[in-house]
Structure 1
Amino acid sequence: MRTIQLLAVLFLLASCKGKWEKTQPSVGKITESVYASGIIKARRQYQVFSRVNGLIVSIPVTEGDTVRKGAPIIIIRNETAKLNTENAAIAADYNSVKANADKLNELRVNIDLARIKLNNDSLTLSRQRRLWEQRIGSQQQLEQAELAYKNSVTAYDVAIFKYNDLQKQLNFAAKQSGKNLEISHTQNDDYIVRSDIDGKVYSIAPKNGEMVTTQSPIAVIGDAGNYYLELQADEYDIARIRLGQKVYVTLDSYRGKVFEAVVEKIYPMMNEKSRSFTVDAHFTTAPPVVYPNLTLEANIEIQTKEHALTIPRNYLLGEDEVMLENKERKKVVTGVKDYQQVEIVSGLTANDVIIKPAP
């Protein structure tokens, strides 16, 4: 019985020994990169919102159309706004200085009459004073001439004041009415949703006859044929990402193919929910056909070594040890890592044989 057990143990050891996988360090190129996910976006891509709530009466464009800046995208019913504009136009016309020219002319005539009376009363007073100096007439006549002159001066001043005051009121009313008309025109134009750029209509959410609100986007517009990559990089990797670094991109739409891009912008604010940073990149070798919001996976190249001594990553024990062929554990210093290989800076040579740790 004891002999059978010994043979079983020897057989087990022999079987385990045969399962050890071996390899030797090799010299080659290794590239360290960090992973990022993201989507493709059109340049200047933005969501279109309506400034007013209302019912859609017309959609002059369809998805895929190219539009000029200021072109109508969606037209909303605006009967009330039109009536308000018409009322504002009526008020502006009624309060214009030109429409009230008769009132000003009337006061201007009153000023001329008051001036004539003032001149006459001034002459009468001067004559009455000369007569009184010659003791001709009476004191009462002189006082009456002086009172009439003062009244004429007051009447003349009042006539000028009324004219200036009316002119000021008319100018104010005309400007106010004009501004109200401008506001009405602006509000009326809010019922036409226009493109802010020369670009392409990528999507339109509502349909003709549906209601739109100011809270929900109604369309997406961006540059036609000019795209970039919006990547999300983990906060632990962002410190190693720099402008100009190469990006290797894979898309589900082009399985098995890798496209190249370059980092062009790093946003400094971290998204607290996802604990990630936004990084923009542009294609240097782009797919033949691209659409906004296509998902992608990217590897941002951090550094590359052409002649590095490397071993497979799954041969490492922990972070800094390997197992030699004689089962001895050996300390190593690692350098650049990718998803499959790791650089050995020191601790091994190309002649060493190492074995893969048992799972």
Structure 2
Amino acid sequence: MKKFFTILGILILVLVFVGTAVFLFNKSKEKPVVYETSSPFITDIIQKTVATGKVIPRKEVNVTSQVSGVVDQLFVDAGDTVAKGDIIAKISLAPNMIALNNAESQLESAKISLSNAERELERQKNLKAQRLVSESEYNKFLLDFELKKERVKSAENNLLLIREGSTLQSDLVSNIIKATSDGMILQIPNKEGAFIVESSTFGSGTTVATLADMNDMIFEGMVDEAEVGKIREGMELLLDIGALDSEPFQAELEYISPKGQQDQGTIKFQIRAAVKLQDQVFLRANYSANADIVLDKREQVLAINEGNLIFEEGAHFVDVETAPQQFERRQVETGLSDGINIEIVSGLVESDKIKQL
């Protein structure tokens, strides 16, 4: 009995050893590698660089007041279209008290001088009638009287300008704010009741309204110094505006700044491009946009994924399938690349199959 168990144990050990050996042998056998293939395809290759910026009107104007005061009435709102000369707002004047007092004083002084000149002229007129003074002497007093009368009118107009913003003889009113050009009202920063300061040689004054020509828009952005040497005026831009779901806007590069500026540790150059508007889409001011600047372009050319290229000794190769899972290395001539796909000038045809790397 003891001998039986000994033989059984030995058989079990042999079976375990043989099974382990078979398992390890099967595991060590490599499975055949199956390579995936792809074919060249026809596509457009566009080489481009990206600039970030915004879309703004080419002409944007801040309309200010020539007088200080309180906004009494607004005749337009943001989004309204106006023509040059249209009334935007009316200002209730808040005159400077010193200037007002001086103007009133000048008017009273001018009236006193006129009254005195009138009495003297009347006296000279009586003397002339009695032939006691000559015609030339009388004319001197008449001239002085006319000058004093004109001085009174001037003082009255000056006082009216300070009080009401207009004169008796002129249709111009200084407290009526008018549009200085055609365009759309973009912003009215001060509402009715707000106090505004007049524009002068010492400052631009308070903005009453901002208007712009929304039919002439430009893209303004920044390009990295590593890319600015590759672009030039006249290049085509494709504007992708995140706020809109429309097709990209086309633009033409018209300006590259000759001087760079530091931005977050790198040097960037400002660019400007004229935007070609779309009839069905309204382009608002200050939309953020990314501009794809087209450096070069190939339309409907044979191409492959650039990751399937093999680089050896300065030449380009691909592995072309000659039979199922059998490949031969073939040299190809390449053209333009967009970083994903690359143009194949020669060496492949559309029916070929190449190994995917």
How far off is 1:341 after superposition?
2.1
CA distance in 2, matches of 1:196, 1:296: 30
| SS across alignment from 1:209 | coil
Match of 1:279 in 2: 272
How far off is 1:317 after superposition?
7.0
Residue type at the aligned position of 2:236: K
Change (3 A) 1:259 1:344: same
Whether 2:75 is the aligned partner of 1:60: answer yes
CA distance in 2, matches of 1:336, 1:49: 54
| SS across alignment from 2:95 | helix
Change (3 A) 1:191 1:24: same
Match of 2:218 in 1: 229
Residue type at the aligned position of 1:355: Q
CA distance in 2, matches of 1:318, 1:190: 76
| Structure 2: gaps (5+ residues) | 1-19, 126-131, 167-172, 198-203, 321-326
Match of 1:291 in 2: 284
Assess if the C-alpha contact under 8 Å between 1:39 and 1:230 holds in 2: yes
Whether 2:44 is the aligned partner of 1:29: answer yes
Change (3 A) 1:190 1:102: closer
CA distance in 2, matches of 1:232, 1:40: 9
How far off is 1:228 after superposition?
1.9
Q: Deviations over 1:156-189 (max 9, x none)?
A: xxx9xxx9xx99x99xx99x98998899699987
Q: Deviations over 1:82-113 (max 9, x none)?
A: 9836854863795699788569979x99xxxx
CA distance in 1, matches of 2:55, 2:341: 30
Match of 2:187 in 1: 203
| SS across alignment from 1:277 | strand
Assess if the C-alpha contact under 8 Å between 1:260 and 1:284 holds in 2: yes
Change (3 A) 1:105 1:333: farther
How far off is 1:217 after superposition?
5.0
How far off is 1:22 after superposition?
3.6
Q: After the TM superposition, which residues 297-316 of structure 1 pair with which residues of structure 2 at under 5 Å, given as runs?
A: 297-306=290-299, 308-315=301-308
| SS across alignment from 1:265 | strand
Residue type at the aligned position of 2:252: V
Match of 2:254 in 1: 265
Match of 1:325 in 2: 319
Q: By percentage of residues, which structure has more helix?
A: 1
Residue type at the aligned position of 1:242: E
Residue range with higher mean Cα deviation, 258-267 or 318-327: 318-327
Q: Deviations over 1:188-212 (max 9, x none)?
A: 8776543221222122223222345
How far off is 1:80 after superposition?
1.4
Which of 99, 109, 112 lines up with 1:84 in the alignment? 99
CA distance in 2, matches of 1:77, 1:5: 100
Which of 219, 227, 242 lines up with 2:233 in the alignment? 242
How far off is 1:263 after superposition?
0.8
| Structure 1: gaps (5+ residues) | 110-115, 117-158
Q: By percentage of residues, which structure has more strand?
A: 2
Residue type at the aligned position of 1:44: K
How far off is 1:260 after superposition?
4.5
Q: After the TM superposition, which residues 348-359 of structure 1 pair with which residues of structure 2 at under 5 Å, given as runs?
A: 348-350=347-349, 351=352, 353-356=354-357
CA distance in 2, matches of 1:328, 1:212: 81
Match of 2:17 in 1: none
Match of 2:200 in 1: none
Assess if the C-alpha contact under 8 Å between 2:89 and 2:178 holds in 1: yes
Match of 1:121 in 2: none
RMSD: 5.6
| SS across alignment from 1:325 | strand
How far off is 1:221 after superposition?
0.9
CA distance in 1, matches of 2:318, 2:230: 36
How many equivalent residue pairs? 306
How far off is 1:230 after superposition?
1.4
Q: Deviations over 1:23-59 (max 9, x none)?
A: 3444543233333344343452334455677543332
Whether 2:343 is the aligned partner of 1:343: answer yes
How far off is 1:277 after superposition?
1.9
Change (3 A) 1:79 1:239: same
Residue type at the aligned position of 1:29: D
User: Greater RCO between the two (CA within 8 Å, min separation 6)?
Assistant: 1
| SS across alignment from 1:298 | strand
Q: After the TM superposition, which residues 92-171 of structure 1 pair with which residues of structure 2 at under 5 Å, given as runs?
A: none
Assess if the C-alpha contact under 8 Å between 1:259 and 1:285 holds in 2: no
Assess if the C-alpha contact under 8 Å between 1:241 and 1:302 holds in 2: no
